[in-house]
Structure 1
Amino acid sequence: MVIVEWIFSTLRSNPELSIFLALAVGYWVGAIKLGSFSLGTVTGTLLAGVLIGQIGIEISPQIKSIFFMMFLFAVGFGVGPQFVRGIASDGLPQAIFAVIISVLCLMSVYIAAVIGGYGPGIAAGLLAGSHTISASIGLATDAINRLDITPAEIQQQLDLIPVSYAISYLFGTVGTGWIIAFLGPKILRVNIVEECKRYEKEMSAGAPADGMHSAWNKYAVRAFRLNTPGLIAGKTVKQAEAASTERIFLENLRRNGQIIKFDQDTVLQLGDIVAVSGKHEALIEWSNRAEDVADAELLNIPVESVDVFVTSKKVNDVSLIDLSKQSNARGVYVTRIRRGSMGVDIPVYAQTKLNRGDIVTINGSKKHVDEIVKEFGFADRPTSVTDMVLVGAGIVLGGLIGAITVPVHGIPITLSSSGGALIAGLVVGWLRSFIPKIGTVPSATLWFMNSVGLNVFIAVVGITAGPTFIAGLKVVGVEIFFWGLFATAMPMLLAPLIGKYIFKFDPVINLGCCGGARTSTASVAMLAEVAKSNAPMLGYTVPYAVSNTLLTLWGMFIVILVA
């Protein structure tokens, strides 16, 4: 007992240790899976914080403000390209769909709060839990702190947020996945497995016989001497490559004993020795037209795999099959496409269109890879250096703009400095999608700002609310669970019908849009498992970017509506 008392006393006198303890326990508990369900790190950290907070620990509120602003900037930075694309390009229908579903999410909570007689604290927690948008708690906290009520009443409302959040989160997570993955196809009256097969077939139109996933290790490089006039000799490089029934590429050229530079208009001559890359079948076809020779120097062709961050306007909204036909895309093979702040894997189909901000993994010879990188974006090579000028200045400018208050009918309306940081992240993330020199924020840094930034905020919320959490449970009552069920289910049951009858979405894309509009990656992953296809991910990213922004801002709006 003496040791326990000493630990408690140390945590009280060193509150920073309690934050790290909450993070350690929260990440550990949140990762535990029961079947396909897990609490997640945010809920795990909140519950750990509440438990630790029972011993009475005082933490400066400035700590959670700092980490929350860092988190919001990272969120905006990550979704910026998809957010702007959704508003400004062919993703507009999906963006409008996300706005409608986000409004339904807000109104479902407002209806529950009005009928249930809940104040802004319970309503804010209900919004965050039923729609699993933990980030909204921060903006709700800012809004409650600005209410014209006594400090004691403000603290009472703030203490109720984590209580209603924790109760409503359970169905918010499990229920959303269950509705989209299992009820969604029934609502649409489709067999989602068959629909995905049909959609994949349509999206693969024009693809090579062996598909678009041709990895470089299926290809070989061989050297040939051109001895027969008219077959290859006498043709340009472009004509020689096009003459094969399979994709092949000339990688090196030796003429008169010297390796020379060449382009697609270079005319091949008798006696030239060329290094050719392609599938074994294609190279066998070439061996019938030219003499196979050993030339170690000519065959010394560096090969690499690179992640390319797409910034070029020439690539935006162009399908992979169309890109493969362009001369500047020769000699490389796309093996992976990641999109959005969550880095979700987009299916590599012939008709899959690239977007600015995508990270595309390509394989090929270094020469061809370098040409692609130069033409379409920049190499997203691993780096540990973060441009803190960009991050710091972005948060400050966004915070200053967000702090501006505009009175509307006597009510002070403001984004708050936190909301301003979110908007700043959106703008900077969008700008970087076509001006890469604006600054670098490595994926590891984004993860830290996203995950740890939010969870430090949540840990402080839980620790601060710990002593009053049990009392809050008595105030909230068990009925909050059923209102959470209503708030979660109502928008999600209507979403597939809205997508089908108003927006005319393909069933596969429709359900992906539903998951994105609820910012529920887990639900789309569950859908992909049921459908035996990741095709629904093609409808996920634009709605996710729009709804992630709006649902976060709703934390402020629900307080204004209820108060």
Structure 2
Amino acid sequence: MDWIITTLKDYPELAIFLTLSLGYFIGKFKIGSFSLGTVTSVLLVGVLVGQLDIVISPNVKSVFFLMFLFAVGYSVGPQFFGGLKKDGLPQMLYAAVVCVLCLICPYLIGKIMGYDMGLTAGMLAGSQTISAVIGVASDTINQLGIPADQKAALINKIPVAYAVTYIFGTAGSAWLLASIGPKLLGGNLVEKAKELEIQLGGDAIGDDPSIASAYDRVIYNAYQIAAHSYANNKTVADVENELESKGRRLFIQRIRRGKEIIDASPEFIIKENDVVALGGRREYMMNYVAVNEKEVLDIELLNFPVEVLSVLIVKKEVINKTIADLRHLKYMHGVVVRSLKRSGIQMPILPNTVLQKGDMIELIGIKRDVDQVATHIGYPDRPTNSTDMAFVGLGIVLGGLLGALTIKVGGVPISLSTSGGALISGLFFGWLRGQHPTFGRIPEPALWIMNNVGLNIFIAVVGITAGPSFIVGFQEAGWGLFIAGAAATAIPLILGLLIGRYIFKFHPIITLGCAAGARTTTAALGALQDAVKSKTPALGYTVTYAVGNTLLIIWGVVIILIMS
């Protein structure tokens, strides 16, 4: 054991990876629906490892924190700037109001409780579940004109308060929105969600299964045409039109005539004994009853390449169009919408769901058809392992230089700090990628590494560094900090729901989604969707999430300045 401790002290990088491993392992466990989550688990394990008095260079956490913040901004940039347009402005304004409440409440509670800026900043980070505040607030404290030992003491209190208040910040937010939220907004929200789906064209689910669900798959069957089949002696186009007139959007992709296999064309005339490969949504195929045709197993006919392609929507001709509008465009023949993501969030696939610039839409169909659609609606996001590191590196450097600029107001130095600059740069570079998708690509796995591993290495170093003073800090703060944090979580959420209902007059389901987004609590979004049995709360989540993720991180600077 002595050898292990000595080795960890001599090679602190091993202590970081030990903390990550145990933190991620513990973070997987759930008690009912509650989990500590990865970030809190990594922090607590780091505190435990930190009892060994391991010294780690602060530059390590700075590098990974900048990477994390740039990735956060990059992910939400298109929605953040897209929200500035007319349709998104009410949601952006709502998110800004909620975020101001999320700053004011911890500040006032901290003042009432007599907390210093370290505990108050930690309470802000934990109660609002915005881990990045730990780093931003720490950077800001380091810029204050106070003795170094006082800076260290204040910075070490931040993770203490974060750990104590984060538990209710996460679990309490989900509970408040999913259980108390419906009571504050009035009515049966399951029915309200169904009403909203109907407004979005959800009543067409039975008539248009091709866009009913993001999780449905396209399948292909082979049918042999009989002499008395309605398809006999008709063109492919006529047969498809007749199927669609009966509420079945199916496509003939290939035809076998004798030993010859022919790619279908609209003018091709189908004859008796031809075998057609018919494709479409699974619901369509299940609802299709072959009265005059015989389903056959023709492996050779059905063995053709089908492409699943994600496309970044950037073309003006489809922006602000509904999915139903998209489906009726001529070039969509044979291609089906499989899923839609906005800022990484799965959106409901309903006929009147509006497409926005920067959305990632997943298409499925024969390769030539899918490729044709991609050229009309945006930029194909084909799988790749390559990250544009020139783009990423330049973004972080420019953001850091911006954040390093300092101005003095009343003798107090004010700056975004390099971390705040990296966030702002990420927003701009993410938006730039959406405008010009030919460069600046960060594959989803790489973005996950930057987001999750970047944040958790930062948190691991914070925990290890604060370890020796953590227990003392916790004893000083007492359980009153937990209650204070619960109040700082609940008050902005409750006020936010009432403001959404009575001032902004959002639909109740949209209000719930907006409240979850402004607080950047994805766990609460999942709980909401389960509670109302619908994906529709996501419609209010993405724009407000982009605003919340930006403002709440910047509050890490503001809370220190106003407390000082």
Deviations, residues 513-540 of structure 1 (Å, cap 9, x unaligned): 1111111111121122222222212221
Among 95, 100, 104, the residue aligned to 1:98: 95
Decide whether aligned partners of structure 1 residues 300 and 459 sit closer, same or farther in structure 2, where only a CA change above 3 A counts: closer
User: In structure 2, what is the equivalent of residue 113 of structure 1?
Assistant: 110
Counterpart Cα distance in 2 of 1:368 and 1:230: 23
User: In structure 2, what is the equivalent of residue 307 of structure 1?
Assistant: 310
Among 327, 331, 334, the residue aligned to 1:328: 331
User: In structure 1, what is the equivalent of residue 425 of structure 2?
Assistant: 424
- Residue pair 2:387, 2:443 contacting (<8 A) in 1 also: yes
Counterpart Cα distance in 2 of 1:347 and 1:277: 26
Stretch of structure 1 that moved more, 527-536 or 120-129 = 527-536
Is 1:23 the counterpart of 2:20? The answer is: yes
Give the CA deviation at 1:270: 9.4
3-state DSSP of counterpart to 1:493: helix
User: In structure 1, what is the equivalent of residue 51 of structure 2?
Assistant: 54
User: In structure 1, what is the equivalent of residue 468 of structure 2?
Assistant: 467
- Residue pair 2:164, 2:482 contacting (<8 A) in 1 also: yes
Among 316, 323, 344, the residue aligned to 2:319: 316
Give the CA deviation at 1:299: 6.7
- Residue pair 1:229, 1:270 contacting (<8 A) in 2 also: no
3-state DSSP of counterpart to 1:336: strand
Deviations, residues 161-206 of structure 1 (Å, cap 9, x unaligned): 1111111111111111111010001111221222222222332144
* Within-5 A mapping of 1:276-295: 277-278=278-279
Counterpart Cα distance in 1 of 2:292 and 2:423: 59
TM-score norm. by structure 1 comes to 0.89
* Within-5 A mapping of 1:130-141: 130-141=127-138
Counterpart Cα distance in 2 of 1:400 and 1:420: 7
- Residue pair 2:220, 2:277 contacting (<8 A) in 1 also: no
Deviations, residues 215-253 of structure 1 (Å, cap 9, x unaligned): 5544435587999999976x8x76664344232445468
User: In structure 1, what is the equivalent of residue 207 of structure 2?
Assistant: 209
- Residue pair 2:99, 2:552 contacting (<8 A) in 1 also: yes
3-state DSSP of counterpart to 1:438: coil
Counterpart Cα distance in 2 of 1:453 and 1:36: 26
Unmatched runs of 5 consecutive residues or more in structure 1: none
Give the CA deviation at 1:117: 2.1
Counterpart Cα distance in 2 of 1:198 and 1:253: 43
| One-letter amino acid matched to 1:557 | V
Counterpart Cα distance in 2 of 1:513 and 1:415: 26
User: In structure 1, what is the equivalent of residue 249 of structure 2?
Assistant: 247
| One-letter amino acid matched to 1:85 | G
Give the CA deviation at 1:386: 1.3
* Within-5 A mapping of 1:34-49: 34-49=31-46
Stretch of structure 1 that moved more, 129-138 or 90-99 = 90-99
Counterpart Cα distance in 2 of 1:462 and 1:75: 22
Deviations, residues 45-70 of structure 1 (Å, cap 9, x unaligned): 11111111112111110000000000
| One-letter amino acid matched to 1:107 | I
Give the CA deviation at 1:420: 1.2
Stretch of structure 1 that moved more, 272-281 or 311-320 = 272-281
Give the CA deviation at 1:127: 0.5
Counterpart Cα distance in 1 of 2:309 and 2:268: 31
Counterpart Cα distance in 2 of 1:503 and 1:351: 22
Identity within the alignment, %: 46
- Residue pair 1:188, 1:497 contacting (<8 A) in 2 also: yes
User: In structure 1, what is the equivalent of residue 221 of structure 2?
Assistant: 220
User: In structure 2, what is the equivalent of residue 356 of structure 1?
Assistant: 357
Is 1:190 the counterpart of 2:192? The answer is: no
Stretch of structure 1 that moved more, 204-213 or 472-481 = 204-213
Deviations, residues 465-521 of structure 1 (Å, cap 9, x unaligned): 111112212332332222111111110111111111111111111111111111111
Give the CA deviation at 1:110: 1.0
Counterpart Cα distance in 1 of 2:226 and 2:319: 40
Decide whether aligned partners of structure 1 residues 286 and 164 sit closer, same or farther in structure 2, where only a CA change above 3 A counts: same
Count of matched residue pairs: 552
User: In structure 2, what is the equivalent of residue 372 of structure 1?
Assistant: 373
3-state DSSP of counterpart to 1:304: strand
Among 124, 149, 154, the residue aligned to 1:157: 154
- Residue pair 1:225, 1:293 contacting (<8 A) in 2 also: no
3-state DSSP of counterpart to 2:365: strand
Counterpart Cα distance in 2 of 1:156 and 1:385: 42
Decide whether aligned partners of structure 1 residues 228 and 209 sit closer, same or farther in structure 2, where only a CA change above 3 A counts: closer
- Residue pair 2:400, 2:418 contacting (<8 A) in 1 also: yes
TM-score norm. by structure 2 comes to 0.89
User: In structure 2, what is the equivalent of residue 86 of structure 1?
Assistant: 83
| One-letter amino acid matched to 2:207 | A
Among 3, 7, 14, the residue aligned to 2:4: 7
| One-letter amino acid matched to 1:437 | T
Decide whether aligned partners of structure 1 residues 370 and 232 sit closer, same or farther in structure 2, where only a CA change above 3 A counts: farther
User: In structure 2, what is the equivalent of residue 455 of structure 1?
Assistant: 456
Stretch of structure 1 that moved more, 58-67 or 394-403 = 394-403
| One-letter amino acid matched to 2:540 | G
Unmatched runs of 5 consecutive residues or more in structure 2: none
Decide whether aligned partners of structure 1 residues 228 and 46 sit closer, same or farther in structure 2, where only a CA change above 3 A counts: closer
